[in-house]
Amino acid sequence: MASTLVALALMCSVGIHGRAINSVIGPYIAYAERYYMCEPDNRPLPWRWWVRTTHFNPVRPKVLPRITGNMTSTSGDLDDSVWVKTIVDVRSNNQWKENAFVFKFNNKACQIAKVNSPGWYEVVLKKREVKGACIFKPGVYEFHDAPIDWNFPNVPIMPYGHYRARVMIGKAENLYACWVIEAKAVPKVDQHFHLYGSYPIYLTAFAQMCGSNRGLA
């Protein structure tokens, strides 16, 4: 469900915003360039992170960037009673176009992370899973020189570009975290797929989907 909405929102943006129609969409490699926090008033929230990443090398696109750092929590479990809101901004004409996509889920933050960001889940959370439960206690989650894959398995194609995602999690009125990831999606070079050939057909299909699902996005 979550992934369907993500795909739909991305597709709809292609159809709706005239400018985006010219951008190219297709199979992609996603990689993060910067990780930081967006804590309001610089007030420390209970779940924080410090992440450094190596650079993505376009000449060797299959070599995953490696991250070092920690995610540290002082209170509040990260489980499926937690909500998650992700605001994605898109870089366009040297500025951020804010709120290009907004995804809000009133609960299931842990599952959503597990299903939609399996790369992050694998590196940071997986080793602390107890009996497969999606429940993570306050503590220090460290990672050192860990290869990270930021591709979203449920979103097979994306408009290429430069993105800034602000990920907020919380419970009821309590904000647990405000994390920022700046990332890029570039064409997946080793796949010279059929999508380009049938691009107009895809656009038509997207337009129809967006038209009939406008309430969703």
Ligand X SMILES: *[C@@H]1O[C@H](CO)[C@@H](O)[C@H](O)[C@H]1NC(C)=O
Task: Catalog residues that contact ligand X under the rule CB under 6 A.
Answer: 50, 69-70, 72, 140
| Pick 20 or 51: Cβ nearer ligand X | 51
Minimum CB–partner distance for residue 188 and ligand X (Å): 32
| Pick 50 or 199: Cβ nearer ligand X | 50
Minimum CB–partner distance for residue 148 and ligand X (Å): 16
Minimum CB–partner distance for residue 34 and ligand X (Å): 14
Minimum CB–partner distance for residue 57 and ligand X (Å): 24
| Pick 72 or 81: Cβ nearer ligand X | 72
Angle at 109 between CA 155 and CA 178, to 5 degrees: 95
| Pick 36 or 50: Cβ nearer ligand X | 50
State which residue has the least CB distance to ligand X: 50
| Pick 10 or 148: Cβ nearer ligand X | 148
Q: Which residues of 113-148 are buried (b: 16+ CB within 10 A; e: fewer)?
A: bbbbbbbbbebbbeeeeeeeebebeeeebebeebeb
How do 66-73 and 140-147 pair as beta strands? Answer: antiparallel
Closest alpha carbon to 2 in 162, 113, 89:
113
Minimum CB–partner distance for residue 213 and ligand X (Å): 42
The identity of residue 164, as a single letter, is R
Closest alpha carbon to 158 in 13, 28, 5:
28
